[in-house]
Structure 1
Amino acid sequence: MVSRLVALFLLILALPLLALLALLVRLSMGRPVIFRQIRSGKNGADFVLIKFRSMNDARDAQGELLPDADRTTTVGSLLRRTRLDELPGLLNVVRGEMNFVGPRPLLPHTIAQKGQAGRRRGEVRPGLTGWAQVNGNTLLTLDEKMALDIWYIDNRDVWLDLQIILRTLLVMVGGERRTGSAVRETGN
């Protein structure tokens, strides 16, 4: 309940920034400004993840979507690098669908494909940020992220959550890098 109230306070406090970012997305990509997608939450319950849109809908000659890297706009890249695309997700925290810290929510079919590891991730509420996100995120394979998420579930406590929040702020400023923690927890 405390995290939901804190998220509501932060959401209200961030309204001017949210409005500015929404305007930037609107001017660079058009509508919609918000990206919505079904993700798997605690105990496998589906919910609608919300974040700022970071990609356009560019397609090839056959009408197929271009690869993500080709559709990510300059504004989208900036939002992703600084994690500001996740700010609307505070509403998911207010609703009780997510926490500030936990495994990032995945698509339901990805959770199903991962079997027992996917079900383990569902033992906790997903987070806006998590252990895998501060240990390499896009520089990691899905299996490495899953191993880090399970390590987090087995070792989580308030101090680890605070460390993850602090490290998230550092990633927002300095960008992603694969850390030694990623290698240790995954055994690679």
Structure 2
Amino acid sequence: MDDSRYARFVKRPLDILLAFGLLALLAPLLLAVALAVRTALGPPVLFRQIRAGRYGAPFLLLKFRSMAEGPGDDSARLGTFGRVLRATALDELPQLTNILRGEMSLVGPRPLPLSYLPHYDRRQRSRLAVRPGLAGSAQAAGRNALPWRDRLECDATYAQHVSARGDFRAVLGTIRILLIGQGVSAPGHATMPRFDSAHAQVPEAIEEDSNTPG
């Protein structure tokens, strides 16, 4: 199939079909995770945050909450339960709703905080030309263990060459990374360090009130 035809006419209907099917299939798992979050962390069950979508448009991203409320650093607030939730990416499943609403795709660059937008260079900003995704080439290449420069370059390359084959490979690669437990966090961090205008990884980890970019 021609790549442009796939991107324009097939990708979005396929997102709707698969997201709807996954929500129906995984409904018992979603309920079980919600109950586990409520038991382990208390209310609220869902974490909500405004993220940058296609062309930088803001949207409300949904996740299962994985950090305890209150003082403390990310490592202390995350705990064993939260680490398991993030390692398995079960915390990301509510984003199937974001996909149905047209704010995300099954495959694409991960949605990052709005505060990052001013710090992208021209090449990095090109990642915004497509809907953010649940899985993606950067996740397949290493998830949060991938340095910011490499991660954003993967996103930019994907945005320029959207294809059915590329999406299929990204999904398989993301599943592989999850199964081997790689890239849950950046080296030396409980989650993922912030991205700044110098493309550096600054010391402050991204807490759940601003959330890890996943």
TM-score (norm 2): 0.76
- Cα deviation per residue 1:36-84 (whole Å; 9 max; x = unaligned)? 110000011100010111111230xxxxxx3222211222111111111
Tell me if 1:85 matches 2:91.
yes
Structure 1 unaligned blocks of 5 or more: 60-65, 178-188
- Residue in structure 1 matching 2:151, options 126, 145, 149: 145
- Residue in structure 1 matching 2:140, options 134, 143, 147: 134
Partner of 2:103: 97
Aligned-pair CA distance for 1:118: 4.4
Q: Which amino acid aligns with 2:56?
A: G
**Residues 125 and 156, structure 2, Cα contact 8 Å, conserved in 1:** no
**Among the aligned pairs, what percent are the same residue?**
42
The 5 A counterparts of 1:4-23 are 4-23=16-35
Deviates more, 1:111-120 or 1:87-96: 111-120
**Residues 40 and 106, structure 1, Cα contact 8 Å, conserved in 2:** yes
What is the distance in 2 between the residues matched to 1:130 and 1:51? 17
- Cα deviation per residue 1:117-144 (whole Å; 9 max; x = unaligned)? 4431110000001111111121122222
Structure 2 unaligned blocks of 5 or more: 1-12, 184-214
- Residue in structure 2 matching 1:34, options 12, 28, 46: 46
**Residues 82 and 171, structure 1, Cα contact 8 Å, conserved in 2:** no
**Residues 111 and 118, structure 1, Cα contact 8 Å, conserved in 2:** no
What is the distance in 2 between the residues matched to 1:2 and 1:154? 20
3-state SS in 2 of match to 1:152: helix
**Residues 112 and 118, structure 1, Cα contact 8 Å, conserved in 2:** no
3-state SS in 1 of match to 2:102: coil
Could you list the structure 1 runs, at least 4 aligned residues long, displaced by more than 4 angstroms after superposition.
Answer: none
Q: Which amino acid aligns with 2:63?
A: K
Partner of 1:110: 116
Aligned-pair CA distance for 1:18: 0.3
Partner of 2:78: 72
Q: How many residues align?
A: 172
**Residues 63 and 92, structure 2, Cα contact 8 Å, conserved in 1:** yes
What is the distance in 1 between the residues matched to 2:124 and 2:76? 29
**Residues 53 and 111, structure 2, Cα contact 8 Å, conserved in 1:** yes
What is the distance in 2 between the residues matched to 1:57 and 1:75? 14
Tell me if 1:161 matches 2:167.
yes
Partner of 2:66: 54
What is the distance in 2 between the residues matched to 1:113 and 1:57? 29
Q: Which amino acid aligns with 1:109?
A: S
What is the distance in 1 between the residues matched to 2:121 and 2:173? 30
How large is the RMSD of aligned CA atoms in angstroms?
1.6
